[in-house]
C-alpha cells in the first residue's frame, strides 16, 4: 500500500519549497464533502479546495457534463475556433452579474489572471494608471496581483519591486477597531498625500476579505465606494473569486450591498474544480481594450465551460443560495455555543456559509493566537477533518464546507472542532452545550 509518508518524501524532493503544503495527506478519492487518502482513511472536507467546491467533490451533474464534452473535443482555443459552450456560459454570467447595465465577459484560467485583466481593462477604459486596494486583501500571486495584495508574508516577501502606483487603504474591521469612516478617511488621505483621483484607474475590493481573515465589508462601506468611484470616474472592481457562486447566500456577495460593480472577477467555484476564471463587467468598459489585448491559450477551456454550466444548474436546482444561509446558521450557532465555553474564540462571523472563527489569547482581539490556530488544524486533521487557516496573523479558521454537504456531516465536523479545541485549551465540556 502507498503511504502518505512515502509520498510526502517524494513530494519534498520533487517540488520547490515555495509551494505550500498544509497537510501530509494524499487524496485517492473524494465525494461531496468527504475525502479518502491513499491509506484508506476518511476525512471531512471543511476546506472545499479553498472555496472551489461549493457543489462538492465530483458532483454527478458536473461529472456528466465534462464526460459529454470530452467525447466531442477537449481544446481548440477560444481565440481561434470558438465553441457554443463558451458563448452560452458568457451569456449566463452576463445575465447573473448584478445591475441593469449591459454586461460582457472574458474567460481566463486563474483568479490571478482575472485580477490582472481587470486592471488592464480599467486602464484602457480610463487612460489612467493608479490603483487602490486594501490592507489584508488577497488578489493573487502574479506580479500585479501581488502588488494589489495587502499582505507581505508569505506572498510578497523577496519578490519586489512590484508594479508602481498601487496604494493601500485600511479595510474596515470593527473587531479590530477600524471603522467604515476611518477607512473612507484613509482613502481621502491617499487622494491628498499620494495620488490625485483623476489619475486613479480602479479601486479593487473583496466584499468579504478571503485570505485576509473573512472580514465582511459593511454594505455602507461598499455603497460609499460606489459613490466615490462615480464621483471621480474610477472603475470599481469587486473581487468575487472566493465569495461567488452562492457561498454567501446570494449568487455574488456584492448583492448584499445592493450596488452594481463596474467589473467583477470570478473563479474558484465557477467550474466545480476545473480551471476557469472570468471577468464580467459593464459592456462599454469591457470593450475598451483592442482586439488581441485580452485572452490566453487555455482561456475558456471547453471542458471547464461545460463544467461551469452544470455548476450553475446545480446552484439553481438544489437551491444552494438558500442552503448557504441554513448552513451558516447551523455552523455559527454551534461555534458561538463553543465560544461561551472557550474564551480563546474571540469572534465568530459569517456571511451565509462563509464562516470564520478568530482565535486569540486572553479574549483580547489584539493578541492573535497563531500557535493555537496551527495546532487546531493539525489536531483536527488527526481526527479526520480538513481545516484552513487565514488572516494577517494566521489566527483565523475559515470554514468552506461544500454547500451540498449534509447537516449530519457538518455536525460531525463541528464536533471534531469542539473536541480538538477542548483538548488544546484544556477546557471542560459543558453539559448544556452538548445537550
Backbone angles phi, psi at 189, to 5 degrees: -65, -40
- Lowest model confidence (mean pLDDT) among 85-94, 152-161, 362-371: 152-161
Helices (H) and strands (E) in the chain, counts: 14, 15
The helix-helix angle for 180-193 and 219-232 (nearest 10°) equals: 20
Chain mean pLDDT for the chain = 96
Q: Is the pLDDT of residue 432 over 70?
A: no
User: For position 153, what pLDDT does the model report?
Assistant: 86
Going by C-alpha positions, the residue among 339, 425, 338 that lies closest to residue 376 is 425
pTM passes above 0.85: yes
The residue-averaged pLDDT of 358-366 equals 95
User: For position 429, what pLDDT does the model report?
Assistant: 44
Res. 431 pLDDT band, cuts 50 70 90: very low
User: For position 29, what pLDDT does the model report?
Assistant: 97
Q: Is the pLDDT of residue 430 over 60?
A: no
Helix, strand, coil in percent for the chain, rounding step 5: 40, 20, 40
The residue-averaged pLDDT of 115-139 equals 97
Q: Rounded to whole angstroms, how far apart are CA atoms 250 and 322?
A: 8
User: For position 160, what pLDDT does the model report?
Assistant: 86
Q: What percent of the chain has pLDDT over 90?
A: 95
Torsion sign over Cα 320, 322, 328, 334: negative
Q: Cell numbers 463596474 label which residue?
A: 262
| CATH classification code of 73-317 | 3.40.640.10
32, three cell numbers: 461531496
115, three cell numbers: 485580477
The residue-averaged pLDDT of 41-49 equals 97
Q: Rounded to whole angstroms, how far apart are CA atoms 155 and 152?
A: 6
The residue-averaged pLDDT of 206-223 equals 97
The residue-averaged pLDDT of 291-319 equals 97
Cα angle 122-127-132, degrees, rounded to a multiple of 5:
50
pLDDT per position as a tens digit, 106-120: 999 999 999 999 999
The residue-averaged pLDDT of 226-242 equals 98
pLDDT per position as a tens digit, 371-386: 999 999 999 999 999 9
Within 10 angstroms of residue 431's Cβ, the number of other Cβ atoms is: 7
Q: In sequence order, which ranges of 215-282 are alpha helices (DSSP H)? A: 219-232
Q: Rounded to whole angstroms, how far apart are CA atoms 183 and 188?
A: 9
The residue-averaged pLDDT of 209-222 equals 97
Going by C-alpha positions, the residue among 177, 178, 176, 197 that lies closest to residue 187 is 197
* Spatial CB neighbours of 133, under 8 Å, sequence gap ≥ 6: 139, 148, 149, 150, 166, 167, 168, 169, 203, 204, 205
Going by C-alpha positions, the residue among 121, 347, 50, 39 that lies closest to residue 215 is 347
The residue-averaged pLDDT of 62-82 equals 97
Going by C-alpha positions, the residue among 389, 350, 401 that lies closest to residue 154 is 389
Q: Which fold has domain 4-58+319-434?
A: 3.90.1150
CA dihedral 310, 316, 318, 321 (to 10 degrees): 120
- Lowest model confidence (mean pLDDT) among 74-88, 268-282, 311-325, 421-435: 421-435
3-state secondary structure of 163: coil
- Please list the residues that pair with 266 across neighbouring strands: 278
**Cβ–Cβ under 8 Å, residues 279 and 125:** no
What's the first-to-final CA gap in the chain, in angstroms?
42
Res. 1 pLDDT band, cuts 50 70 90: confident
The helix-helix angle for 84-96 and 302-317 (nearest 10°) equals: 40
User: For position 427, what pLDDT does the model report?
Assistant: 64
3-state secondary structure of 430: coil
The residue-averaged pLDDT of 9-29 equals 94
Q: Is the pLDDT of residue 435 over 60?
A: no
Tell me whether residue 129 is exposed, middle or buried, using C-beta atoms within 10 angstroms of its C-beta: 0 to 12, 13 to 18, 19 or more: middle
Res. 398 pLDDT band, cuts 50 70 90: very high
Q: Give whole-number Cα distances, 262 to 31, 112, 286, 325, in Å.
A: 37, 18, 9, 27
Q: Contacts for 28-37 with beta carbons within 8 Å, 24 or more apart? A: 30/57, 30/58, 31/56, 31/57, 31/58, 32/56, 32/57, 32/58, 32/59, 32/402, 32/404, 32/405, 32/409, 33/57, 33/401, 33/402, 33/404, 33/405, 33/406, 33/409, 33/410, 34/409, 35/386, 37/4
Q: Rounded to whole angstroms, how far apart are CA atoms 321 and 168?
A: 32
Give domain limits for the chain: 4-58+319-434, 73-317
Extended strands (E) in 64-137 = 103-108, 130-134
Backbone angles phi, psi at 344, to 5 degrees: -65, -20
Going by C-alpha positions, the residue among 233, 202, 209 that lies closest to residue 119 is 202
User: For position 433, what pLDDT does the model report?
Assistant: 42
Q: What percent of the chain has pLDDT over 70?
A: 98
Within 10 angstroms of residue 109's Cβ, the number of other Cβ atoms is: 19
- Lowest model confidence (mean pLDDT) among 143-147, 236-240, 325-329, 351-355: 143-147
Amino acid at each position: 500500500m502507498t503511504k502518505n509518508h512515502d509520498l510526502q518524501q517524494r513530494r519534498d524532493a520533487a517540488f520547490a519549497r515555495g509551494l505550500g503544503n498544509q497537510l501530509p495527506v494524499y487524496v485517492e478519492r473524494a465525494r461531496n464533502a468527504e475525502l479518502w487518502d491513499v491509506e484508506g482513511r476518511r476525512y471531512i472536507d471543511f476546506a472545499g479546495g479553498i472555496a472551489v467546491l461549493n457543489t462538492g467533490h465530483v458532483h454527478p451533474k458536473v461529472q456528466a457534463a465534462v464526460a459529454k464534452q470530452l467525447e466531442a473535443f477537449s481544446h481548440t482555443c477560444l481565440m481561434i475556433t470558438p465553441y457554443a459552450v463558451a458563448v452560452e456560459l458568457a451569456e449566463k454570467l452576463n445575465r447573473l452579474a448584478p445591475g441593469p447595465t449591459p454586461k460582457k465577459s472574458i474567460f481566463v484560467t486563474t483568479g490571478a489572471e482575472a485580477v490582472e485583466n481587470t486592471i488592464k481593462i480599467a486602464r484602457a477604459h480610463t487612460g489612467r494608471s493608479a490603483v487602490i486596494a486594501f490592507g489584508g486583501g488577497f488578489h493573487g500571486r502574479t506580479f500585479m496581483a501581488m502588488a494589489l495584495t495587502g499582505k507581505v508574508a508569505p506572498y510578497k516577501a523577496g519578490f519586489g519591486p512590484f508594479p508602481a502606483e498601487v496604494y493601500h487603504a485600511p479595510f474596515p474591521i470593527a473587531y479590530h477597531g477600524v471603522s467604515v469612516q476611518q477607512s473612507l478617511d484613509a482613502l481621502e488621505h491617499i487622494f491628498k498625500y499620494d495620488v490625485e483621483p483623476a489619475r486613479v484607474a480602479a479601486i479593487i475590493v473583496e466584499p468579504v476579505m478571503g485570505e485576509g481573515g473573512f472580514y465582511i465589508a459593511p454594505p455602507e462601506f461598499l455603497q460609499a465606494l460606489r459613490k466615490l468611484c462615480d464621483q471621480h470616474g474610477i472603475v470599481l472592481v469587486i473581487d468575487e473569486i472566493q465569495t461567488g457562486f452562492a457561498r454567501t447566500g446570494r449568487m455574488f456577495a456584492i448583492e448584499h450591498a445592493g450596488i452594481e460593480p463596474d467589473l467583477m472577477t470570478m473563479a474558484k467555484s465557477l467550474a466545480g474544480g476545473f480551471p476557469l476564471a472570468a471577468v464580467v463587467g459593464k459592456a462599454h468598459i469591457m470593450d475598451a481594450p483592442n482586439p488581441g489585448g485580452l485572452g490566453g491559450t487555455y482561456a475558456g477551456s471547453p471542458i471547464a465551460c461545460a463544467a461551469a454550466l452544470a455548476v450553475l444548474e446545480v446552484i439553481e436546482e438544489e437551491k444552494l443560495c438558500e442552503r448557504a444561509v441554513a448552513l451558516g446558521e447551523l455552523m455559527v450557532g454551534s461555534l458561538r455555543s463553543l465560544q461561551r465555553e472557550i474564551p480563546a474564540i474571540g469572534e465568530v462571523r459569517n456571511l451565509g456559509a462563509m464562516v470564520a472563527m478568530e482565535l486569540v489569547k486572553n479574549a483580547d482581539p489584539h493578541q492573535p493566537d497563531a500557535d493555537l490556530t496551527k495546532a487546531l488544524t493539525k489536531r483536527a486533521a488527526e481526527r479526520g477533518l480538513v481545516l484552513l487557516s487565514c488572516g494577517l496573523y494566521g489566527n483565523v479558521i475559515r470554514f468552506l464546507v461544500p454547500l451540498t454537504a449534509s447537516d449530519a456531516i457538518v455536525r460531525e465536523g463541528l464536533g471534531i472542532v469542539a473536541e480538538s479545541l477542548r483538548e488544546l485549551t484544556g477546557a471542560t465540556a459543558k453539559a448544556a452545550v452538548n445537550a
